[in-house]
Chain A
Amino acid sequence: MTHPVFTAKGLTKTYVSGEVRVHALNDVDLEIAEREVVVLLGPSGSGKTTLLNIMGGLDRPTSGRLFFRDLDLTDLEDRELTKYRRDHVGFVFQFYNLVPSLTASENVALVTEVSNQPMRPADALALVGLEERMHHFPAQLSGGEQQRVAIARAIAKRPAVLLCDEPTGALDSKTGIRVIEALLGVNRQLGTTTVIITHNASIQEVADRVLFFADGRISRIQKNETRREAAELTW
């Protein structure tokens, strides 16, 4: 195995929502390698999103350590976390989170304007097959198209890791497969380490490794000897 992109040691997260105390992540150890495609599977509330958020620098663990390459994310200041996200992380969310008042290409530009060696927004959109739709507003795009814009936005800055939270969760199977195709294409062409959260067990077949989550822990790890192409998926 090459040098890991992420190394987690005893990662734990508890938080308070309203009056309820939740153990979202419970003592998780993990390594993720460069160029790897990892799928996180598990029921709602099992800790997948929390792990992803902490890996993306969107949230902090309550205890434990998380390294990005040699960088200890655990102790970073807000400002340093921002820089980390800006330089290394691309996000894809379940509900796309596009800025409704910006066109597809402007949504991508939102990211390229603050990164170091970004692609041109048009190239990023071409990677996900949307160069024709670049001047459309989110409201003029279908759900799948919006999600591909979100992927283009995430990869336009050539991030080291691409973190996707339920990228196909709001999509029908045909569109979902196109989205997965776009993700795998990026992984292939740019070598971006990709972590995908999903409820959809079919998607596990495109991964190098599958991490099964339950009750804030990794209950099982499955290694796929061969990755299947997105086009071969059905659900």
Chain B
Amino acid sequence: MTALDIKLFRDVRRLWAQVLAVALVVGGGVATLVLAVGSHRSMEETRIAYYERYGFGDVFAQAKRAPKALAGRIGEIPGVAAVDTRIAKLALLDIPGFSEPASAQFVSLPDSGEPHLNRLYIRSGRLPEAGRTDEVLVNEPFARAHGFSEGARFSAILNGKKRELVIVGTALSPEFVYTVGPGDLMPDDRRYAIVWMSEKALAGVYDLDGAFSAVSVKLQPGASEREVIARLDALLDPYGGQAANGRKDQTSHAWLDHELDMLNNMSRTLPPIFLLVAAFLVNLTLTRLVALEREQIGLLKALGYSDGSIVLHYFKFVALIVVIGITLGGIVGTWLGLRVTALFGDFFHFPFLVFATAPDLYVTAGALSTAAAAIGALRALREVVKLPPAVAMQPPAPPVYRRLLPASIQLDQIVSQPTLMMIRNIARHPVRAAFTTLGMALATAILVVSLFTRDTMEQLIDVTYFLADRQDATIGFSEKRIENVVEQVSRLPGVLAAEPFREVPVRIRHGNVERRITISGRPADADLRRIIDADLRPVALPETGLAISSMLGHILGVGAGDTVELDLLEGARRTVTMPIVATVEDYFGIRGMMDIEALRKLMREAPVVNSVNLSLDENRKEDFYAAVKSMPTVGGVALQRVSLANFRKTVALLITTMASIYTGLAAVIAFGMVYNNARISLSERARELASLRVLGFTRGEVLRILLLELAILTLIAQPPGWLMGYGLAWVMKTNLAGELMRVRLVVEHSTYVIATSVVVLAAVASAAVIRERIDKLDLVAVLKTRD
């Protein structure tokens, strides 16, 4: 090893605290990238493997009663690789010791062999015996939520008749990763189950021998989904078929997709910001750190070292710091990534996890950090290296300080000498002060952008659950009912008010863009389930025309006054054109809304409803639950309060977990930045401060001179930090917006306060370290060096 390299390692060891602080900043940026992209990739790979191994279908359709022989004809549709038919029915459950109404999707299992598609992963127990109407397999999350194991019993109302069922096993399925009950917004494992039963048994119960009510299709690679759906619809139409849909509109897949999408968007938004901020801070810090080496650089030049070898030496120095940072960040990022992947895997009940390795991420993060560090070092070296060695070995000539104000104004009579020194020092190095401020501001900004999701989630909850959908419960019927059911329901115990709700599936189209959505019809005077506009005011629907989510308007490229095409996917299927009369600000899903009368006219139908929204008397809830459980026509009951709790437990949890991790990493970066800034300021001014000590200044006074500047710059940095944080939050909000969920940008004051507190805390901690250094300031040694 050459003497220069030995110097390199000894310098790194000598400056370990600063090296570590810079490495932490690099590491924070790297960890964010590795964590976010790594965990997203792992989830994505896991999902792909899960779907692949368990044969998740591509196209799904339902019918009232289709003959099994039709399966052969479906298989002949060009592009179809495999077909699986079965019976699928919604039913209410009665679970012992559980008063709230629950419901289940009953699905038939072939009596011999495995299903062709959507195969099960048996977690425990066995398959139900063929023909046994009492044996069922349930989805594991449901069993876990109730503490059920094999042998546990519960009841279900199947085809109007209550039956007792015994659990013989638990399973997972790629089809039901995310299980959302009818009418519900959020998954609820206690109140919604997937129940598998022998096909023979279920066919017997629903009188569907030799028939099926649901079909899944696997496509050949390259086949046109649209084409297959059209042909499948045509085949099923005579048998009460409902429009087929692709994976995109399959509930579980769509939600899973959305969650992964949010992860992906987070990983595309935050880590680049973190990495860039880290790179900038590293650049800033290393410029100053290398500039401090001025005299050593001069010496090396005097000894005959070429500019190139000196530059290389310092490049190695910063590269070593970056390598330490990348290593730290890589280890922490990978560890966090594994933890997050395991957490999400558990949340989605994946039967196994695939951990994706990502060497390209280290290369990307490493290259960016190294480049930033190298540029930082070069910027400092360019200044020093071009000086003749005789000059470089001298300390810099005294900087030219100027009066800030006309001589007639005696500033020193207004402020103390230390303050004056601080002000002059800032004024003398305006660029350095500006960059330092910018660095601190960025530290605050990345904290704000990590923290704001919390506020946004709370706002979304407020608007969705307390302003818009104010019903306590929604009863969904297995099939549409004539409107007098509303009156029937309003007579149930505990019901204070009831409003009808009619939902019609449609394909909405404008130009080449189309989406499958539901149009909900609601009474003009609806008070429970309201539509809220951007200003958070309730909107009354016009008597004709269609209102749509503004997100949908954005996707289709339409606004109020435009017309769209609608394929009605229920009843007499027609295609109509319809004017858009309003776009509505909402946070969940993309949907259409109409006056219920107008919708009925459009459907050319008698007054019918799919569900009823209810306001309940809190004290008579139990009576209501008991009554609704015995209604054979009910497919499911959604409870807002429970839904909200589930939202907090699920989506919000995922988002805030990620946000907390990001906040932690942001805090590390912020601390590294602030600490380095303080330490370097001390080194740059050591001689000056020691001279002051010799002149009789106390340690406290000297500390004050140094820290006053740090304090002022930290405080000045806060407002721009908040502003930049808000801007970054806006970028992130825009990136997070999806068809299933989006948020409105809300940043509470408390978020700014927390972000600033973290930075101030970092400054205070740095000040404590600096204090120790000042106490140890060697007056003689500092003054003995040349002047």
Contacts and interface: CB of A to CB of B under 8 A. Distances in A.
A101 B14 contact: yes
B278 to A, nearest CB: 27
Nearest to B781: A139
Given A58-B388, A99-B299, A101-B11, A85 B304 contact: yes
Contact of B3 (A18, A91, A106): A106
A114 B306 CA distance: 10
A45 to B, nearest CB: 13
B303 A110 contact: yes
Contacts of B305: 82, 86, 114
A107 B786 contact: no
Interface residues of B, number: 32
Contacts of A94: 786
Given A82-B307, A107-B3, A99 B390 contact: no
A153 B400 CA distance: 37
B296 A82 contact: no
A113 interface: yes
B7 interface: yes
Interface in B373-414: 388-391, 393, 397-400
A60 B391 CA distance: 11
A87 interface: yes
A102 B7 contact: yes
Contacts, number: 87
A170 interface: yes
B49 interface: no
A111 B304 contact: yes
A78 B392 CA distance: 14
Contacts of A157: 304
Interface in A178-205: none
Contacts of B14: 101
Contacts of B388: 53, 58-60
B7 A91 contact: no
A125 interface: no
Nearest to B386: A78
Contacts of A110: 3-4, 7, 300, 303
Contacts of A99: 7, 296, 299
A95 interface: yes
A102 B10 contact: yes
Nearest to A15: B391
B304 A113 contact: no
A19 interface: yes
B488 interface: no
Nearest to B15: A101
Q: Which of B299, B306, B390, B785: most chain A CB closer than 10 A?
A: B390
A59 B391 contact: yes
A69 to B, nearest CB: 17
Contacts of A115: 304
Contacts of A93: 393
Interface of B: 2-4, 6-7, 10-11, 14, 295-296, 299-307, 309, 388-391, 393, 397-400, 784-786
Given A79-B306, A82-B307, A157-B304, 14 more contacts: A18-B397, A19-B400, A58-B302, A59-B390, A59-B391, A78-B307, A85-B389, A97-B299, A101-B11, A102-B10, A106-B6, A109-B3, A110-B7, A113-B3
Interface of A: 17-19, 53, 56, 58-60, 78-79, 82-83, 85-87, 89, 91, 93-95, 97, 99, 101-102, 106-107, 109-111, 113-115, 153, 157, 170
9 contacts: A18-B398, A18-B400, A59-B390, A60-B388, A83-B304, A86-B303, A94-B786, A101-B7, A111-B303
